């Protein structure tokens, strides 16, 4: 029998899948060619970590989960757009995502770019229209969440992190991995790596939890602790991703393993080794638990999701 947490994940994932399917634009308002491309990537599966974390945060602070569902879906649309663009030949040039061909392989680069653009803008349309209410308190929460998500997705967040990643891996003198370990480079030390991933990966994970806490009506002090804890979740997620890129199998990961090393990208295992990277992920979890404990949320599903992040195999 599944554990209660596994059952929780399954139930929330099903809820998110249904809401995403309903949120996506359809013909005739949206041309079928781009609607189908958007749906191809959104419905490809995935962990749905960010939207589930958003819903869990709303529940943890005692709020109504349904109020956070539009934000949860908007964040997943943004995440999916980022994957489409990251996989493009001009970026990471990957041909497999979530266990099947990447979108540009199926529909071409131009349509993949348009599908990503469509998902990004549709996310903010969804944040603006839902939940549909005239309640001033809920409207104020929606506006605050839109600002949080925009900052996390834009040049100060995810886009900025991707820019740092591209710059660090493509400069001639950048970090170049040889097998597992790599020679260090002054421009991409541990601090630079942490900053890059706090933007590229961590920002949207944090925004998901913060959006859920805000839509759940949490006081500012609780929102701040959720933000701090899930910042460590984001770092742990990236460290584990780097480890899996070294150790994982293509079928289980659903994407191409070994790409980071082949591209000479700076990673935690490359800088510190696998054992130290695992220790760092565990330390992230400990810090997150302290932050959530200060808000009385140490026994919440939010903390369960943090453990899931660290212990996952894909």
pLDDT tens, position by position, 136-150: 999 999 999 999 999
| Token code pair at residue 3 | 């554990």
Rounded CA-CA distance 251/263 in Å is 21
Tell me the chain's radius of gyration from C-alpha atoms: 19
Q: Three-state SS for 131?
A: coil
Determine phi and psi for 210, rounding to 5 degrees: -65, -40
The pLDDT assigned to 98 comes to: 87
Rounded CA-CA distance 74/119 in Å is 9
Please, which residues have CB within 8 angstroms of residue 99's CB and are 6 or more apart in sequence? 44, 45, 251, 254, 255
The pLDDT assigned to 172 comes to: 46
**Tell me: the pLDDT tens digits for 7-23?**
999 999 999 999 999 99
Rounded CA-CA distance 79/209 in Å is 14
Which domains can be identified in the chain, with CATH numbers?
Answer: 4-311 (1.10.600.10)
Q: Kindly report the CA angle at 233 between 215 and 13, in degrees rounded to 5?
A: 60
- Residue 277, CB-side half-sphere exposure with 13 Å CA sphere: 26
Rounded CA-CA distance 103/168 in Å is 25
The pLDDT assigned to 20 comes to: 98
Asked if 110 and 88 touch (Cβ cutoff 8 Å), the reply is no
Asked if 152 and 214 touch (Cβ cutoff 8 Å), the reply is no
Region label for 250, one of left (φ > 0), alpha (ψ between -120 and 50) or beta (otherwise): alpha
Q: Three-state SS for 1?
A: coil
The pLDDT assigned to 261 comes to: 57
Cα 282 to chain centroid distance, Å, stands at 19
pLDDT < 70 stretches in the chain: 1-2, 170-187, 248-264
Widest CA span of the chain, in angstroms?
58
User: Residue 145's closest CA among 47, 195, 73?
Assistant: 73
The pLDDT assigned to 259 comes to: 63
User: Residue 227's closest CA among 283, 281, 297?
Assistant: 297
Per residue in 234-261, is it b (16+ CB within 10 Å) or e — as a string?
Answer: bbbbbbbbbbbbbebeeeebbbbbeebb
Asked if 313 and 71 touch (Cβ cutoff 8 Å), the reply is no
Burial of 122 (0-12, 13-18, 19+ CB in 10 A): buried
Q: Three-state SS for 48?
A: coil
């Amino acid at each position: 029998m599944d554990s209660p947490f596994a059952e929780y994940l399954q139930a929330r994932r099903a809820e998110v899948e249904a809401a995403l399917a309903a949120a996506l634009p359809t013909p005739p308002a949206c041309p079928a060619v781009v609607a189908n491309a958007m749906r191809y990537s959104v419905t490809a599966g995935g962990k749905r970590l960010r939207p589930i974390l958003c819903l869990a945060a709303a529940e943890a602070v005692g709020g109504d989960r349904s109020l956070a569902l539009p934000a949860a879906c908007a964040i997943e649309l943004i995440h999916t757009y980022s994957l489409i663009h990251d996989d493009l030949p001009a970026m990471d040039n990957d041909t497999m995502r979530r266990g099947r061909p990447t979108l540009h392989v199926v529909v071409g680069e131009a349509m993949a770019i348009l599908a990503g653009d469509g998902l990004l803008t549709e996310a903010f349309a969804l944040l603006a229209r839902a939940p549909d209410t005239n309640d001033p308190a809920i409207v104020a929460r929606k506006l605050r969440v839109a600002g949080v998500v925009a900052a996390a997705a834009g040049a100060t967040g995810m886009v900025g992190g991707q820019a740092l990643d591209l710059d660090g891996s493509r400069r001639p003198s950048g970090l170049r991995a040889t097998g597992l370990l790599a020679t260090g480079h002054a421009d991409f030390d541990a601090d630079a790596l942490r900053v890059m991933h706090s933007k590229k990966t961590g920002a949207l994970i944090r925004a998901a939890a913060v959006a859920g806490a805000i839509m759940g009506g949490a006081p500012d002090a609780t929102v701040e602790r959720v933000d701090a804890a899930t910042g460590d979740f984001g770092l742990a997620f990236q460290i584990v991703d780097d480890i899996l890129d070294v150790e994982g199998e293509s079928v289980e990961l659903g994407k191409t393993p070994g790409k980071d090393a082949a591209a000479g990208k700076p990673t935690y295992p490359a800088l510190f080794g696998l054992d130290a990277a695992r220790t760092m992920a565990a330390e992230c979890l400990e810090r997150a638990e302290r932050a959530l404990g200060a808000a009385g949320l140490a026994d919440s599903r939010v903390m369960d999701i943090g453990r899931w992040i660290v212990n996952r195999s894909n």
